[in-house]
Chains A and B, each alone.
Chain A
Amino acid sequence: MKKSRRIGSKIFMGVLMLFFYAPIIYTIFFSFNSGRSLTHFDGFSLQWYGKMFSDSNMLQAVFYTIVIAVIATAVSTIVGTITAIGLSKSHRILKLIVEQVNNFPLMNPDIVTAIGLLMLFSGLHASKGFVTMLLAHIMFCIPYVMLSVTPKLKSLDSNILEAAMDLGCTPMQALIKVIVPQIMPGVVSGALIAFTMSFDDFVISYFVTGNGVSNISILVYTMSKRVNPSINALSTLIIVIISVFLLLVNIVPSLYNKSKAKSAKG
């Protein structure tokens, strides 16, 4: 009876994985289709990859997605970390207020944040495009960075900072040499979250952009109205890049630890 239960749960998890991975496999499979159809495989070809690299709209969208994600991550990581540090030394009320305001973009549906920004930018007569999209991305990335840095700050021993200043550090030196190295894991994971949030964003970008500036998500959305198999090629490329990245992130540290353990033994 126990055995049958184990087989049952294995089948359940197998079906679940099929459900999760079928669309991904489907996308990869049809990116090599020689026809336009998304349902009939006519034969193997790389034509959609060729089309993708000659499609200026697509290349531009990829370019904007990466540039915005990189700048938004850099800015939000720096600003978020600095603010979180300042906040940890600030009055409780200020802490509470900033926390509550940060919760707006985190808890509100994206579409509400998006229309708010749309009205703000229009009210300021800002021309919608690259800059508005970048500002919006910085706006929703900072709370994630602060959320991942703040717990690290809380667990910090304040005596170490005082010791550093007693030994003659200026506050700035103490900040860079004492605080920042200790909260680095939080900063790095915050930056990672910010990058993926920016890279994957659709709703907010869709509302605040204009003048032909679009990212990958917007491109997929607008292209879905007429079948364009180049999307599959682009998606496959993204899937491969993310797989390699995740593999590196997950495997390299364990390999590193293993080799360290070995060298420690030897």
Chain B
Amino acid sequence: MKSFRKMTYPYVVWISFIVVAPMFLILLYAFTKEGNAVMDFVFTLDNFKKFFVDSVFIDVLLRSLRVALVTTVLCILIGYPAGYFIAKSSEGVKMRWVLLITFPTWINMLVRTYAWVGILQDDGIVNNILSIIGVRSITLLHTEFAVILGMVYNFLPFMILQIYTALTKMDNSLLEAAADLGADRVRSFLKVTLPLSLPGVLSGITLVFLPAVSSFFIPKLLGGGQYVMVGNLIESQFLTSGDWNFGSAISLIMVIIIMISLYLTKKVDKTELTERRAN
């Protein structure tokens, strides 16, 4: 149907303008000096130098990576048993659990994150419960703990659903075979279930790490104005200080880090697959 091919032309024109052009603008600004006149741009690496020379910016980057990493690990530790439990439930109950997990994600992220501000406040419900038990009240809001909590809260459903999907695809007769061959529960879990669910864990990692490292409203709402992550740094370059060149350079650094981590998770996935085949 050659006549159908023409139907793609408008979209090709559209994405060249609205998807490809902005990416070029980010590259252009990242490698040029200040001044918005595109015609007389000068190539420079100063924007990157500025980032890597100043320890303040390096600290921000390391903090973002640390928070995203802790969030991802926590999501695996909580998400795996949850996904496992749901996958092992009976058919009718399964869908009900999936609905319970997905329902909160339908509600606006900011609205849900904002609720934690009230819960975590010094005179909020958590501290009230603590004081009833007899524990001295602790500052929770505007700490790294609050930021990580907010991220786990927002991104955990993605991890659970990925692991759940991987586990339901698994053929249960494999477990029976393992049991017949003399493996106990722990061994068959480690040798059969865990490797087969690994692709789910890996795509879960992507779905958690990527938004966590670039998030800027969770650190702003729960970490307070003083708590800066890479996302906040980019935001301030574009919306307050107006240094688009530096902002573009930071974005580029972030994208490269994300690409490297995506590549690494993909590689783990592949080596795992080939190893399994070799065995």
- With A26-B118, A111-B235, A112-B214 as known contacts, state yes or no: A19 contacts B7, CB within 8 Å: no
Total contacts A to B, CB within 8 angstroms? Answer: 199
CB contacts under 8 Å to A, within B215-237, are: 216-217, 220-221, 231, 234-235
- Contacting pair B18 A108 (CB below 8 A): no
| Total interface residues in chain A, CB < 8 Å | 71
A32 close to B (CB within 8 Å)? no
Given contact pairs A111-B214, A161-B1, A90 touches B29 in the complex (Cβ within 8 A): no
Name the distance in Å between B98's Cβ and chain A's nearest Cβ: 11
Inter-chain contact B110/A202, CB cutoff 8 Å: yes
User: B109 contacts which chain A residues (CB < 8 A)?
Assistant: 200, 202, 217
The answer to whether the Cβ of B53 comes within 8 Å of any Cβ in the partner chain is no
- Whether A90 contacts B116 in the complex (CB less than 8 A), given A108-B255, A123-B25, comes out as no
Of residues 157 through 204 on chain A, the ones whose CB sits less than 8 Å from some CB of chain B are 161, 171, 175, 196, 199-200, 202-203
Binds A, one of B40-48, B170-178, B246-254, B270-278: B246-254
- Residues facing B in A187-240 (CB within 8 A) are 196, 199-200, 202-203, 207, 216-217, 220-221, 224, 231, 235, 238-239
How many residues of chain B get a CB closer than 8 Å to chain A's CBs?
75
- When the two chains form their complex, are residues B8 and A83 in contact, meaning their CB atoms are under 8 A apart? yes
Instruction: Give Cα A117–Cα B11 distance, bound, in whole angstroms.
Output: 17
A234 to chain B, nearest CB (A): 8
Residues of B contacting A: mostly:
helix
Contact of A117 among B5, B18, B85, B258 (CB under 8 A): B18
| CB within 8 Å for A23 and B238 given contacts A40-B123, A109-B258, A111-B216 | no
Q: Which residues of B contact A (CB under 8 A)?
A: 1-8, 10-12, 14-15, 17-23, 25-26, 29, 38, 78, 81-82, 85, 97, 99-101, 103-104, 106-119, 121, 123-125, 153, 157, 210-211, 213-214, 216-217, 220-221, 231, 234-235, 238-239, 244, 247-248, 251, 254-255, 258, 262
